[in-house]
Structure 1
Amino acid sequence: MELLSVKRALALGVLLTCSQLQTASAYPRLPLPALDGIMTPPCRRRHREHVERDADAEAVNLLYIAENGQVRAHFWETKLVPTVINGVTQTITVSSQVPFPDETLPVRAVAATKAPAKKKKKKTTTPVKKATNKKGQPIRTVKKAKTTAKKTTPKKTTPKKTTAKQTTTKKQAAVKTTPKTTPKTTTKSKTTAKTTTKAATTKQVSTLTTRRTTSTRTSTITVSRSITSLTSLRVSQNQTASPTVVATSGTIHSSLDTSGNPTSQPFVTSLGTSSSSLSLINTASTTLPSTSMRPGRPTIQAANLFAPMASGAPPSQISQRSDHPVARLGIKSQSQKLSTNKFYANFFLGNQNQPTWTHPYSVAWAKGVGVAKSWGLSISHIERGQLAYGDGDPAKYFINPVGIQSMIFSAQELGNTSVLTTDSLTAFSVNVNLQNSASASPLITFPLVQGMGFVTARYNGASPLIQSSVSVLSLVYNGKLNGTNTFKYKAGLGDQSTWLMYITPDSTSYPGNTFTLVNGNNINGTSNFVGTIQIAKLPSSTPGGETIYDNAAGVYATSTQISGSASGTTGTYSMTFSKGGNTSRTLLMFALPHHIQTLTSGGTTNIKLQTTTKGTATAIIGDSWTFAEPDLPTDIGFAPWTPNDGSINSVSSAAQQLIVQAASSELTQDIDGQSNLNSMYFSGKGLAKFAAIIFATNDIGKNKTLAYTGLQRLQASFATFVNNKQIYPLVYESAWGGVVSSGTYQTGDSGLDFGNTYYNDHHFHYAYFVYAAAIIGYLDPTWLTATNRDWVNTLVRDFGNPSSNDPYYPFSRSYDWFHGHSWAKGLFESGDGKDQESSSEDSLACYAIKMWGRISGDTAMEARGALMMAVQARAVQNYYLYTSDNTVQPPRFIGNKAAGILFENKIDHTTYFGANIEYIQGIHMIPLLPFSPYVRTNQFVTEEWNTYFSNGRVDSVAGGWRGILYANYAIINPSAAWTFFSNKNFDVSFLDGGASLTWYRAWAAALGGSR
């Protein structure tokens, strides 16, 4: 005999094996017309009588008991016991059962309906309101699966994939759901669902429908199961929840939010006009600077890579102001400057309720949204089987659903007047506070640290309310952990996941088992609780995993400090965690794949949890981690470089002639016209282009006169920026703490210059200037005056500051030492978190720091830049660039070879400026400079070339992208690249605005095209 959920059946269009109809105010009545298909006239009359005499203080549950393929109807009458949870009264006690007349009904499918308002019976369908995002753009809706119940005999459901085509031809998504075995308290049924595109046998799985246009792609995914469990209201060691519908719902943001990311290509389309003539300097009357320094060196020694590089105010020519267009929402005052590009920025941007990813968990302020209607902090963890994929093979994107509130930390005192604040914002951590008002003391404080093993909540006299929108089916009290003041619970959720909950009160007289499972959405604790509650997900099939968690419960990380040194060609860095709670215990933290590859201290465990875009995280036991990078690129300089040959300055005499020939033409171009633009990004690219031309002319082409003629003109153009006389001068704003373009202040356009004023892309923009300055200083050491040094150091301090004690800039704004690469998104709210589109320009930023440190004489900066290059190359090879043996990213995606745009929550094989394959792959190539072969291995370049550009396909690519592709090809086939660039009839339209024929010829020749 099984119970069937009529209410859920009507919602899904299928009669299942249990039915519950509640007419209390919290659960709307089902209309009689909805029941016509399954009720005979006597049953309908009896049901009408019960409904009509029902009062708000009484609930009527319509049940069907299936026997031998037929259904016998019963009523349960339930008296409501007022239990106030978040202001909602819920029924929690069951009373007597009233049978129907002795009739049986055939089991059949019924049409989906929605209950009308009370007393109204004529409405059987309700139009669906189209969901929209915050910009008013449509969100993909979920289509209900048509389901036919073939038998009443329960059988085990076989999970399969459910796929659905999108409503446009551009993309489609497939959602894989793999329900685990239903617990004993769960009723099983066999259903067959048909979607509009494929048949699938699932457990009430809704199909995913998506839309994609050139500007937006949004969707919603819902996977739900109906589960009935026993009711227990007493406080005991084993509590189970009342009958409930388990809804593991999430939204996927497949739209490409272009906030602060204009759709223009990453280079100017015009190379500018040439000057009328190029007057060479007179070497007889001019003493040329000495260039005795080697840009690269075989080894390096540095004891403290994170020593402060400066502490003074910005240069006086850069004006200062105290305001910024983006308010510091809920941020409490602190002495350290604020990070703008870190993982927790969603907590102080927009509505404050977009997720934050600590990996492997994500957290978000529930803010009254979700099944639980909570005002607490929700926790989510996504398994790989829950990913949504784009169309094609390989898939065009993969996305983790957001909004699945597996567990929620809340308090009875929180409600719609609550506010969220933050304090102690650092590069690796933040405190998030929930309080009743902006002036009130925090009720709950959450110390969020990247890689944290538990999500920890510090309660300050509040009444704990642990909630779940997925539904808690069971709560088992395991008692007090030996030798501690920590009490343990184990929660079983409706999606068959298991979560551990640890209670550590400040008081040693805490009574122990004080948490009551009220229903599937709510667990009540005692009032006025002071102490910590920690929650962690227990992965399935992990021997000893629970004991590992037990041994680490009670202690938590509060912040992270980084240190590092370099010796020879080995760079070492450590992350040391500050602790709270029971500090006598050792921390459990999660490490990413690139951490594990170089970890030298810290004990790995067999606890592994999936991250969103960084593969599988491994739990580490230790209060600090130490890593060693054995292959620092200390010898990379300004000349073309390979792992086998190092820096290469020597080419054939024929190649030298062609290099100088190109330089003689390109150095007649208007350097000012190509660099003094209304964009720091394009301006920096222009200066860097001419710096590379001049270096190639001098060191590879061996024409010093031509090189220094160009150098004088480059120095004059660079001075425009040092003097802050460009179109949009820089300004130092103290609100957040950084040097930004004044463009947005003048125009009001937040997207101007790719969002520079909002801290987008600073490491891209400023790295080109730093690289150009390093070449100028190398060729002319007299240029390294205090004025020029201070200006360049200001840029480095803005995006790559080594010190957290700098009074003007935050530590490492762009580069994320936990992830091993930078984030480009600044002060823009994002449903998928921070992102980065160009891993190669991130590599440029690390390389520029190294080279400026070398030329300016700052050994710590040089070594730090080399270590950043090594860590970033490792991260890129794991997360951005995929060889066929990549085991980190989903197998369905690695065939794309390059990420496209990598977010914290998804990877989309596209760009902000278009979906041409040369754009997507090429954005991870530019600029082609000495660091490129260090990051882009021969295996990767070969696989990528064969996938997209071999057999003449490259020659169908138009514009500057063809030059980029051939320069990249030089890494594995320099002869073919040399043939392309040395053609006497070379078409200059194949050069982008940041590239030159001079450099590409030097590059291809030195790599082996014409040595």
Structure 2
Amino acid sequence: MSRLYGYSTWTRALDERPKWSAGRYIARIYTYIVSHRSYAYNIFVPIQQDDVLGQIPINIKHPLPRLGIEDSADKPIQTNRFYANAFLGKQDQPIWPQPYFIWWGRGGSDPNQVPTWGMNVGHVESEDLELGPGDPPKYYSAPRKQPVILGARELDDKTVMTTDTHLPYSVNINLRNASPLVQTAGKGFQGDLGNPVLIGRSTKYRFKDCDGRDWLMYINPASGVEYDGTKLTKIDANTIVFSSNFKGIIQIAKNPSGTDAEALYDKTYGTFAAEAKLHATVNDSRGTYGWTYRKLGRGPLLMFLLPHHLQSLDSEFKSSITKLQLQTTTKGTATAVWIPADSVSFTETNLPTTMGFAPWTHNLTTARTRFPSDFLLFLSSVAELDLRRAMSDPITEDSYYYAGKSLSKFANLLWVIKEILNNPEWVAKGLGKLKEDMARYIENVVKFPLYYDDTWKGLVSKAGLDGDQGSDFGNTFYNDHHFDFGYLIHTAAVIGALDPGWLEQGSNKRFINMLVKDIAESEYEGRDFPFQRCFDWYAGHSWAKGLFESADGKDEESTSEDGFASYAIKMWGKVIGDADMEKRGNLMLAVQARAFNSYFYLTSTNPNQSSSFLPHKITGITFENKIDYATYFGDAPHLVHGKHMLPLAPPSAYLRPRAFIKEEWDALFALPPPTAATSLAHGSFASTALHPSPPPIMFRPILSPKQSAWSSNVKADPLAGGPYVDGGWRGILFSNLALADPKTAYSFFRDGVGGVWDERWVDGGATRSWCLVWCASLGGVGMR
């Protein structure tokens, strides 16, 4: 019933429960006239008819039951949305309708907070952010302050919280019926609540929170209800109680800029968005997406946009940008924008429509690359070894993630053999094996088969149906589905490109479409899967965390695998002839590229993250409330950065700009120039040929305070005594370097170190053959 962009809104009707509505960027979009523009076609159309295939058992009862959810049991529930904490755990962790965050007090167990059974409304300024240890700090996070609490006298230990109307960008949060009560924490209201100001039938108050920051409160009685908003009682320094029998909405807004911001709020009080629908159109390399709102109230909508939104905001909305800005927790400064005609849209003008299965940059042509004969001869010898391994190595069935990586690398190898080496005999041999391996997943006869979860509505691994949340990285609880299934979708796309007849065999096509629907359902009211489970079109990227209560909210650990999932969807759409799916994948990549470079890739001029954090060059794990320079499996730099690089694939150059890659490499992994003495002492320095073998990757000491705690694959450099990267992470770093320095990277994959090659330097999701073609195509060798 309400929304928290620009306002915190509390609604209550007589004999009803108070309702909160937390919304993302709410919108309703149709295929007719929207925002003074005619959208002839919306690419968010059904993929295929809802149908859980016969080989997929239906699990009626998920180990995590729905908690306080009042929507029909037949309705899919968003598992990876910003509001999931409202129905997980104790239901008292925050949700983040940026730039605010709210959480249910649940009586209060934190001694540093005012106890309440009401709803806390939070907001932090940049100076409030708490920095972790180190220089640069290991993390920063937003403290859970209580500038405003909306509650009621009747709320107590018998109060329960429920949710309903779970939509892609909004949800209703309900507490029991009660009369309004407003609190603030810490030192209490600084001075009394200001004199009431009557505006129409509403009453406005100005007040300062415990930090002396200004807020506004609007009491808006429902139409036809007589209510005197000037009657209030101050109970103590923290608490003000209004009279009972209220029906209507209460809106709270932070006021950072005095009368100018107040004038904006005065124009829109009593109005809020209640629902959003997403739309998009794509024409060639130009894509437009946006939201249209179903609003409540008669005033205009004032909504907050993030920095990456303003960059691509359509020109007709530029005049609607205001000077009102509020800090977000992890995405820079949000800017209030008027939404004319209840709709807003953004345009990306450089969609990667020419990107295919080959290594890709903006400058590469789509014509077949002609490699020199000596390169092809060497590649053939390497590919023969890679194919032997692929034919004999078993595909693990303990993890959809690792299985997907193995199958995807096999598929890339076969693409290399066909398109670069033109060896149909090897292709036929390998493709038969890959089809067999893939068939086990499509027929669902692997160790941990997929089940259709009829509780939350989705495909989940059997591994965690016994309640083990950690099995297969939490797949059963909707963690990382776009990573896990993205690799399988990519594998199927390559198979379909190599053998189009495979698409029509058995349930191959329908099974992969079902995986796409699980992670990126394109039907707004689909029966079997929630709309766009993983990708958050407001944030500009996916959220990997599923049904896990989290004090810092949803998170994203790997931008590269997020982008790879979008790429897989794009290529699967292309292979099966689903133009709308291909367009959605292209547009997702464009939005991701903008968001990643706005919030995750930290160049020295990045304006959206704390300047003290920029030397890290990458965010690590980005939560809704926290940035942590780490991964879930370690915090060594090569792990943190490598997780945002792998897999090195065609979208890598589109997502990761060359200038950023060079800055990242120079800051963390580059060695100082060798001296004459070291050149004689170490073979990898000695060569001055066109393709010298690279030295071990070093870490600059200032950014490696925990060398002794690094993983076992970090060893001492025999020359300088410092740590260097070994194992598959070494190959990941050099594959990434190819986007900025392809000759050095190619030299590594051709010659190894000192003329010695170690196959363990190739990541489990790649082959040396692919790495050689990757580096060579990007400029590592001269072309014919």
Q: TM-score, normalised by structure 2?
A: 0.85
Displacement, 1:676? 3.9
Q: 2:90 aligned with 1:354, yes or no?
A: no
Matches within 5 A, 1:375-414: 375-402=117-144, 404-414=145-155
Give the corresponding residue for 1:605: 322
Q: 2:673 aligned with 1:937, yes or no?
A: no
Give the corresponding residue for 2:217: 501
Give the corresponding residue for 2:498: 779
Give the corresponding residue for 1:255: none
**2:205 aligned counterpart, secondary structure:** strand
Q: Distance in 1 between matches of 2:362 and 2:134?
A: 36
Give the corresponding residue for 2:71: 333
Same amino acid, percent of matched pairs: 43
Give the corresponding residue for 2:377: 657
Q: Distance in 2 between matches of 1:960 and 1:802?
A: 36
Q: 2:388 aligned with 1:668, yes or no?
A: yes
The 1:792/1:498 distance shift into structure 2, 3 A limit, reads: same
Q: RMSD of aligned C-alpha atoms? A: 1.6
Q: 2:252 aligned with 1:535, yes or no?
A: yes
Give the corresponding residue for 2:742: 974
Q: Distance in 1 between matches of 2:518 and 2:407?
A: 19
How far does the alpha carbon of each residue in 1:7-34 deviate from its partner, in whole angstroms, 9 at most, with x for none? xxxxxxxxxxxxxxxxxxxxxxxxxxxx
Q: Unaligned 5+ residue runs, structure 2?
A: 1-38, 672-694, 699-723
Q: 2:307 aligned with 1:593, yes or no?
A: yes
Matches within 5 A, 1:450-849: 462-470=178-186, 471-473=188-190, 474-481=192-199, 484-506=200-222, 507-539=224-256, 541=257, 544-580=260-296, 582=297, 584-600=298-314, 601-602=316-317, 603-622=320-339, 623-647=342-366, 649-650=368-369, 651-671=371-391, 673-745=393-465, 747-785=466-504, 787-849=507-569
Displacement, 1:953? 5.1
Matches within 5 A, 1:835-984: 835-951=555-671, 952=695, 954=697, 956-983=724-751
**1:641 aligned counterpart, secondary structure:** coil
**1:425 aligned counterpart, secondary structure:** strand
Which residue identity lines up with residue 989 of structure 1 in the other structure? R
Displacement, 1:703? 2.2
Displacement, 1:782? 0.3
Displacement, 1:472? 1.3
Alignment partner of 1:1005 out of 770, 776, 779:
776
Q: Distance in 2 between matches of 1:961 and 1:714?
A: 25
Which residue identity lines up with residue 548 of structure 1 in the other structure? L
Matches within 5 A, 1:192-271: none
Indicate conservation of the 8 Å contact 1:798/1:813, yes or no.
Answer: yes
Indicate conservation of the 8 Å contact 2:185/2:210, yes or no.
Answer: no
**2:778 aligned counterpart, secondary structure:** helix
The 1:860/1:302 distance shift into structure 2, 3 A limit, reads: farther
Indicate conservation of the 8 Å contact 1:505/1:530, yes or no.
Answer: yes
Q: Distance in 2 between matches of 1:652 and 1:972?
A: 22
Alignment partner of 1:991 out of 752, 762, 770:
762
Indicate conservation of the 8 Å contact 1:641/1:648, yes or no.
Answer: no
Displacement, 1:556? 0.8
How far does the alpha carbon of each residue in 1:497-530 deviate from its partner, in whole angstroms, 9 at most, with x for none? 1110001102453334123333221111111111
Question: Which region of structure 1 is more displaced relative to structure 2, 371-380 or 701-710?
Answer: 701-710
Aligned length: 679
Q: TM-score, normalised by structure 1?
A: 0.66
**1:804 aligned counterpart, secondary structure:** coil
Q: Distance in 2 between matches of 1:625 and 1:356?
A: 24
Indicate conservation of the 8 Å contact 1:337/1:809, yes or no.
Answer: yes
Q: Distance in 1 between matches of 2:777 and 2:366?
A: 9
Give the corresponding residue for 1:28: none
Indicate conservation of the 8 Å contact 2:407/2:491, yes or no.
Answer: yes
Displacement, 1:949? 1.1
Q: Distance in 2 between matches of 1:997 and 1:517?
A: 72
The 1:572/1:512 distance shift into structure 2, 3 A limit, reads: same
How far does the alpha carbon of each residue in 1:452-502 deviate from its partner, in whole angstroms, 9 at most, with x for none? xxxxxxxxxx31111111311321134222xx3221111122210111000
Which residue identity lines up with residue 394 of structure 1 in the other structure? P
Matches within 5 A, 1:37-48: none
How far does the alpha carbon of each residue in 1:971-996 deviate from its partner, in whole angstroms, 9 at most, with x for none? 01111111111127421010121110
Q: Distance in 1 between matches of 2:41 and 2:756?
A: 53
How far does the alpha carbon of each residue in 1:91-137 deviate from its partner, in whole angstroms, 9 at most, with x for none? xxxxxxxxxxxxxxxxxxxxxxxxxxxxxxxxxxxxxxxxxxxxxxx
Alignment partner of 2:59 out of 321, 324, 328:
321
Displacement, 1:413? 1.4
Indicate conservation of the 8 Å contact 2:203/2:229, yes or no.
Answer: yes
Question: Which region of structure 1 is more displaced relative to structure 2, 692-701 or 352-361?
Answer: 692-701
Indicate conservation of the 8 Å contact 1:365/1:378, yes or no.
Answer: yes
- Asked which structure has the greater RCO (Cα within 8 Å, sep 6+), the reply is 2
**1:765 aligned counterpart, secondary structure:** helix
Displacement, 1:880? 0.8
Q: Distance in 1 between matches of 2:367 and 2:734?
A: 19
Structure with more of its chain in strand, by fraction:
1
Q: Distance in 1 between matches of 2:432 and 2:321?
A: 56
Displacement, 1:648? 6.5
**2:217 aligned counterpart, secondary structure:** strand
Indicate conservation of the 8 Å contact 1:486/1:505, yes or no.
Answer: yes
Displacement, 1:383? 0.7
Indicate conservation of the 8 Å contact 2:71/2:166, yes or no.
Answer: no
Q: Distance in 1 between matches of 2:336 and 2:607?
A: 18
Q: Distance in 2 between matches of 1:734 and 1:977?
A: 48
How far does the alpha carbon of each residue in 1:731-777 deviate from its partner, in whole angstroms, 9 at most, with x for none? 001100000000112x5421010000000000000000000100000
Q: Distance in 1 between matches of 2:390 and 2:774?
A: 23
How far does the alpha carbon of each residue in 1:325-383 deviate from its partner, in whole angstroms, 9 at most, with x for none? 11111000235310101101111111100011110000000111165421111000011
Which residue identity lines up with residue 997 of structure 1 in the other structure? R
Displacement, 1:646? 4.3
Which residue identity lines up with residue 272 of structure 2 in the other structure? Y
Indicate conservation of the 8 Å contact 1:302/1:860, yes or no.
Answer: no
Q: Distance in 2 between matches of 1:326 and 1:775?
A: 36
Indicate conservation of the 8 Å contact 2:61/2:453, yes or no.
Answer: yes
Structure with the greater alpha carbon radius of gyration: 1
Question: Which region of structure 1 is more displaced relative to structure 2, 660-669 or 869-878?
Answer: 660-669
How far does the alpha carbon of each residue in 1:523-560 deviate from its partner, in whole angstroms, 9 at most, with x for none? 11111111110001001x45611100110110011121
Indicate conservation of the 8 Å contact 1:354/1:830, yes or no.
Answer: yes
